[in-house]
Amino acid sequence: MNYFLLTLIKAGLIAFVLVTVLAYLVWVERKVLAHIQLRVGPNRVGPHGLLQPLSDLVKLLFKEGFIPSHVNLFFYLLAPFMAVALSLGSIAVIPLGPQIDVFGIKTNLGLADVNIGILFMLGLGSLGVYGVALAGWASNNKYALIGGLRSAAQMISYELPLALAIVAPLLMFNTLSFREVVDAQGGYLFGFIPQWAIFQLPVPQLISFIIFLIAAFAETNRIPFDLPEAENELVAGFHTEYSSMLFAAFFTAEYGHITTACMVASVLFLGGWQPLWPAAYGSDFFPVVAHWFFAAICFWHARQPARSYDRYTMPILGIILFGAGGLFLVPFLKPILVPLFWFLSKVAFLIFTFVWVRGTLPRFRYDQLMRFTWTFLFPVALVNLLITGLLVALTTK
């Protein structure tokens, strides 16, 4: 019973935080992209447009959910639900931090600690293609159909290098549990090089990491692989006929996929919540320093306000950041917050990369995309796997 209650609380908490984070990912993406493109981005709703996700949500909720008469209603309605459920589902098995002790209850920072977590995640990820393909087919729209077909072929093709890229570090760690993968990446070589998968001997998994990222871009239908929704070719691709919350569902699914992919990449290759340098050199205090540094910047801006209201908003933000930094010093919260900070910073950096790439690269052509995965990515992933397997077999007793 205790276990049941605890899981329920954790599920509620994670779901709430996750949905908020996904909504704010839209804001982050728009803001980062805007600055790459010499624009300001959302800045009307709330300070720095911070309430924009909220207003978007209200807008989408109150829009008419228009369902065209020529759709296949069952699959048309099923597709967005499948997309969202499958994309958010895999986050359940990803651990966010180590085992913690809250009021004497030992529990894992993360929803479920499944010993086949990676297989579960891969399975759900493969099913994700159904949302897109069904939406494209059920819409009974030519652009949507082409988009859905493209995406089905693309996602299935990129599953292979993605899976192979995941298998290589697994060979080194000899486990399928996310938690054990992270534990295996603890420690430091020569006392300062973190033993993350991309640095760990015998085979630093840098190539796997890059292949994983490329395949993740394709899996999440992001530029340069955003062919299913290439707006200049297919108007809006598979979600052309969707409006209101059904449309928002696809967006949530896309951002959910991005978040999952970034979390998995951090766990598998960047050492999860393992800090960049040993605690002996004060990595535990880095979050405090970082928060206080940004608090200081806020106070500095309050002294020299760029806008008149900065005089009031900036100190408030500064105090919040100062307090948040202080939380990392509380002995009771420290073991929870410090790993979470390291894990989320890695995830945030990877998400930033996703947006960064979107602001930089053009789009592949469909056949080039397929050729790229089958004639380049897949063989490279395979060779990488063979080399890793060989070296692991030679070095382990």
* Binding status of residue 361 toward another protein by CB under 8 A: yes
Maximum alpha-carbon separation in the chain: 68
Report DSSP letters for 97-137, one per residue. S-EEEETTEEEESSS---TTHHHHHHHHHHHHHHHHHHHHH
Q: Is 36 in the site for another protein (CB under 8 A)?
A: yes
**C-beta closer to another protein: residue 33 or 210:** 33
- Least distance CB 375 / another protein (angstroms): 13
Q: Which stretch binds another protein (CB under 8 A): 18-26, 106-114, 180-188, 355-363?
A: 355-363
Which of 222, 186, 214 shows the shortest CA–CA distance to 372?
A: 214
Judged by CB under 8 A, the residue of 22, 364, 377, 381 near another protein is 364
Of the pair 16, 74, the CB lying nearest another protein is at 74
Tokens of 158: 């990129």
Q: Does 64 bind another protein (CB under 8 A)?
A: no
Q: Does 368 engage in binding with another protein (CB under 8 A)?
A: yes
Q: By C-beta, is 113 or 233 nearer to another protein?
A: 233
Residue from 46, 47, 68, 278 binding another protein (CB under 8 A): 68
Task: Based on the shown chain and the rule CB under 8 A, indicate whether residue 2 belongs to the binding site for another protein.
Answer: no
CB of 200 vs another protein, minimal distance in Å = 30
Binding piece for another protein, criterion CB under 8 A, among 13-21, 103-111, 204-212, 218-226: 218-226
- Residue 107: phi and psi, rounded to 5, are -150, 165
Please tell me whether residue 334 binds another protein under the rule CB under 8 A.
no
Q: How many residues bind another protein (CB under 8 A)?
A: 38
From 138-146, 183-191, 271-279, 312-320, span contacting another protein (CB under 8 A): 138-146
Least Å distance between CB 81 and another protein? 19
DSSP string, 173-239: HT---HHHHHHHT-SEETTTEE--TTT-SSS-THHHHHHHHHHHHHHTT-TTS-GGG-HHHHTTGGG
Stretch that binds another protein, among 18-26, 252-260, 333-341, 359-367 (CB under 8 A): 359-367
- Scanning 7-15, 67-75, 174-182, 188-196 for contacts with another protein by CB under 8 A, the matching segment is 67-75
For residue 377, give the DSSP letter.
Answer: I
Q: Is 257 in contact with 22 (CB distance < 8 Å)? A: no
Residue from 7, 360, 395, 396 touching another protein (CB under 8 A): that is: 360
Provide the minimum distance between the beta carbon of 116 and another protein in the complex, in angstroms, as a whole number. 37
Alpha helices in the chain (DSSP H): 2-36, 52-62, 73-89, 117-138, 142-173, 178-184, 206-219, 231-234, 244-269, 286-303, 310-327, 334-358, 366-371, 378-395
Question: Which tokens hold the place of 305?
Answer: 């306000």
Pairing mode of beta strands 193-194, 188-189: antiparallel
Q: Torsion angle, CA of 162/167/172/175, rounded to 10 degrees? A: 120
Residue 230 interacts with another protein (CB under 8 A): yes or no: yes
What does each C-alpha distance from 158 to 111, 378, 387 come to in angstroms?
Answer: 28, 8, 21
Which two tokens mark 11?
């599920």
The residue from 56, 226, 254, 284 that contacts another protein (CB under 8 A) is 226
> Which tokens belong to 246?
């059904």
Does 101 bind another protein (CB under 8 A)? Our answer is: no
Taking the least distance from each CB to another protein, the nearer of 143 and 269 is: 143
Q: Interface with another protein includes 35 (CB under 8 A)? A: no
Residues found near another protein in the complex (CB under 8 A) = 33, 36-39, 68-70, 72, 137-138, 140-143, 145-146, 223-224, 226-227, 230-235, 358-368
